[in-house]
Amino acid sequence: MYRSTVSRRQFTLLAGSIAASQVPMGAAPTVAASEFIAQVQKSLGGDWPATGVDGFKAGDPATPIRGIAVTAMATMSVLQQAAKANLNLIVTHEPTFYGRQDGPSPPPPAGGRGRGPAGVSPDDPIYKAKQDFIAKNGLVVFRLHDHWASRKENEMTTGLADALGWSKNKVLGEETMYDIPAATLEDTVAAVRKKLSLRGGLRAVGDRKLRVRRVMLHPGMMPVATMWKNYDKVDLLLAGEVREWECTFYAADKQANGEKRSLVTIGRVASEEPGMMACATWLSSLDKNIPAKWISAGDPYWRAL
């Protein structure tokens, strides 16, 4: 039998090289952002076209993940908090760069009117500052909007209901309606403001003394057709945002016509934050070795009075 002779020094060097090539005991294996997101895509299912709104928006997808920051919108403040907390994969619900596709606005078509800006100018100082901060801190930004919002569990709505303490009041057979403890509109608005830590972004239309019992929740942007279909079924319709000339003044005219209904908007991003908090919990379940933390984008408004 052949037996090689290895000196003590050679053995030490060999052992050291083997140890260096393996993952230390107790350490989590390195996972690239692209690998983790592939797991997210598989779990959520559906098609993920390159032209869709969901996808990588900044940074290198090959970057190893240290931790995940989940938010409704990747503001500069959120990016700064994430970097400080050593969370380098940013999962955001809304665009990071102020346009649907998260890129700079393309030039307008020659001799004609475009559909409006798709984003800011590539020379915009805030656009550049965000890109520079992301690059300097090794961050990777992934937008998760359509696929998260379309989950059958409807966490965007149930998350908001949870945050408001209304989950147990869900109307049987209705996905977005809740029979809450009866209170005046004024008191209900005050409770919503307090529970969601809102500043000036909340706006209400309706009689302050209206008795509110049945509420419909619609996080994000509420289409006018949704309002017209459901407004007569509830005492209060609580949405993220609406187009003012379609919905706000429809509600005002309803009130002027003597009908007892109310509309409250709390801000698109603010309405989506509880749903993204639920998203952070879900992402944590996909890989126990990668921490996922929700970071609030906050309510940027303040009240003059």
Exposed/middle/buried for residue 153 (C-beta within 10 Å: 0-12, 13-18, 19+): exposed
Examine residue 13 and state whether it is found in any structural domain, yes or no: no
Q: For residue 196, what is the domain's CATH number?
A: 3.40.1390.30
Q: Are residues 278 and 261 in the same domain?
A: no
Residue 115 reports pLDDT greater than 70: no
- Alpha-carbon distance 44 to 39, whole Å? 9
| Cα 126 from Cα 132, distance rounded (Å) | 10
Residues 71 and 50 in one domain: yes
Question: Do 142 and 159 lie in a common domain?
Answer: no
Q: By percentage, how much of the chain surpasses pLDDT 90?
A: 79
* Of 59-73, 87-101, 114-128, minimum mean pLDDT range: 114-128
- Mark whether 110 and 170 lie in a shared domain: no
Domain membership flag for residue 177: yes
Given this model, what pLDDT does residue 120 score? 80
232 and 87 in one domain? no
The mean pLDDT of 235-251, rounded to a whole number, is 97
Domain count, the chain: 2
| Mean pLDDT estimate for the chain | 88
pLDDT at residue number 191: 98
The pTM score is 0.86
pLDDT of residue 100: 83
**pLDDT score of 106:** 61
- pLDDT score, position 118: 63
What is the arithmetic mean of pLDDT over 150-176? Answer: 96
- 276 lies in the same domain as 290: yes
Same domain, 262 and 248: yes
Q: Answer whether residue 125 shows pLDDT above 80.
A: yes
Q: Quick one: pLDDT at residue 99?
A: 87
The position carrying tokens 């709104």 is: 53
* Co-location of 130 and 159 in the same domain: no
| Domain contains 228 | yes
17-21, 136-140, 234-238, 301-305: segment of lowest average pLDDT: 17-21
28 found inside a domain = no
Q: Output 186 or 51, whichever has higher pLDDT.
A: 186
177 and 40 housed in the same domain: no
CB 232 within 8 A of CB 250: no
Which residues lie below 8 Å from residue 96, measured CB to CB, with a gap of 6+? Answer: 57, 58, 73, 74, 90, 102, 130, 141, 143
Q: Is the pLDDT of residue 85 over 70?
A: yes
Please indicate, yes or no, if residue 203 is contained in any of the structural domains: yes
User: Which residues form the domain of 41?
Assistant: 33-150+272-294
CA neighbor of 285 nearest in space, from 64, 36, 91:
36
pLDDT of the residue at 24: 43
Q: Let me know: does 104 contact 127? Beta carbons within 8 Å.
A: yes
